[in-house]
Amino acid sequence: MTETTPSAAPISVTDRGAIRVIAVNRPDKLNALNAATLDALHTAFDAAADDPAVRVVVLTGTGPKAFVAGADIAEMNSLTPVQGRDFSLRGTRMMRRVERMPKPVIAMVNGFALGGGLELAMCCHLRIAADTAKVGQPEINLGLIPGFGGTQRLLRLAGRAATLELCLTGAPIDAARAAQLGIVNRVVPAAELEAETMKLAEQFATAAPLALRGMIDCINIGGECGIEEGLEFESAQFGLVFSTQDMREGTSAFLERRKPEFKGA
């Protein structure tokens, strides 16, 4: 396990073999997202995307209470309208970077994921939550609306009725209901959260990286276009993986009844 960032940084980055763990590191502020943290996250995900040794990313929060409890209200309180729009765009760009990652990103939701924290979790490809976690979009209680994509991603994950309920009431929900609504993929006992998340991450770390990337791209594109365009893109990606050594290795291993060894080539 290799730590690659100083402890005073707004995020920490740790490598566990092919798994990179990125943690928001402001536990005294419940990991609230300020401008510096948004920028640090963007840089960290750029680096993970470009590092061939990294095959999967786990995103979490430091401390026992929060994944990310929201955006930094103290920083937002004095913003002008133009600065508020710029802050929203800053967060939106960072979260789009996560969503468009060519490698699987798992949100390990260890506590409160509220406002910007839920928005951050939703832009990850999968979400595993502790049974003690709470999620919600409480911006209405501050006279605000979600600004990092909350209305849009929540709508796509949970549907119109649940999105209106969570955004208009601002009330948090527990992890079990979040799973029922499709906001999180799995709920596990808090004591088992890290082990279960790493187990899934290890599965991805040994899978065919280029096939994983193709599936992520197809699902992202398919969610943003009509079915004909999505099907055409999928067929193009399907054909493209026939150029990879991993495809030959995977099909050969199946025929030879052995475990494949994927190299990402």
Instruction: Give the residue from 138, 99, 96, 141 showing the smallest Cα distance to 115.
Output: 138
Q: Is 119 a catalytic residue?
A: yes
Q: What is the pairing mode between strands 173-174 and 134-136?
A: antiparallel
Q: Is 232 a catalytic residue?
A: no
How many CB atoms neighbour CB 152 within 10 A?
14
> Rounded to 10 degrees, what is the CA torsion of 179, 12, 51, 93?
60
- Which position among 75, 99, 119, 261 bears the catalytic label? 119
Cβ(123)–Cβ(218) under 8 Å? no
Helix spans in 7-80 (H): 35-50, 73-76
- Which position among 3, 139, 165, 232 bears the catalytic label? 139
Longest dimension (CA), the chain: 65
- Tracing tokens 């409480």 back to the chain, one arrives at 138
Active site residues: 119, 139
